[in-house]
Amino acid sequence: MGLSLRPVPVDDPHVAVEQRFLEEAVVPGAIVLEAGCGRTTRLAAFRDRIVLLVGVDADAAAGRENAALDEFWAGDLCARLPFADAAFDLVYANFVVEHLAEPAAAFGEWRRVLRSGGEAVLLVSNVASPYLRAARLLPDRTRVGLKRAGAGAAEEDVFPAVYRANTPVRLESLMGAAGFACVELRCVGTLHRYAGRRRLLRGLLGAAEAVLPERRRSTMVARFRAV
């Protein structure tokens, strides 16, 4: 089944990696769960393959605004989900893991609702990055301001982050314990997004991340398979 996608900006490698993973993981006729769906989803580009797209989010108002969904459930991702075992082909989570108070419980639920051989595609902040570790020391108001001015996040969409599964080692360990095998995990630089339209600052932030070892760059894009 054909798929038309907009070109990926060259300075957004995390989007390119994510789209490659989704191209391979979203099978025709897929039933998909988006964990932490919010108001919009990049899965909208794959609706010609997805027969049922279900979203779960603690923010009921945001989830109900998401026009790409077929169904929405408001609830805690760390609690038992209202779905049968093996109900989904794919779980997708876009920068949600950092907000999970009990990631092991959430990952266990994702495995329960996935069929054997189903996949989870995750975008996850990586606090193995020295820059993200330093940013955690900033006051909450400053961090919210940076996300609003640079990454374009609305203030009501910025939630407290606890970072309990947010290094490659920790994520792989917890997902493995939940019954997943890692297919591929890439760490890519995303700090440039916080520069907004400031081209010089974008270049400086990109260069600062480029010198880091890959596993210390700011965003993990990961693909896991249910075993």
The structural domains of the chain, with segments of one domain joined by +, span 13-226
Query: Can you give the pLDDT at residue 195?
Result: 83
Beta bridge partners of 31: 52
Mean pLDDT (10-residue bins), the chain, 227 residues: 34 83 96 97 96 97 96 97 98 96 98 98 97 81 58 57 96 98 96 86 91 95 98
Q: Check: CATH 3.40.50.150 for 13-226? A: yes
Residue 43 backbone dihedrals phi, psi, to 5 degrees: -70, -10
- Output DSSP code: residue 97: G
Query: Can you give the pLDDT at residue 126?
Result: 97
Q: How far apart are CA 102 and CA 111, in angstroms?
A: 15
Query: Can you give the pLDDT at residue 42?
Result: 94
Amino acid at 178: A
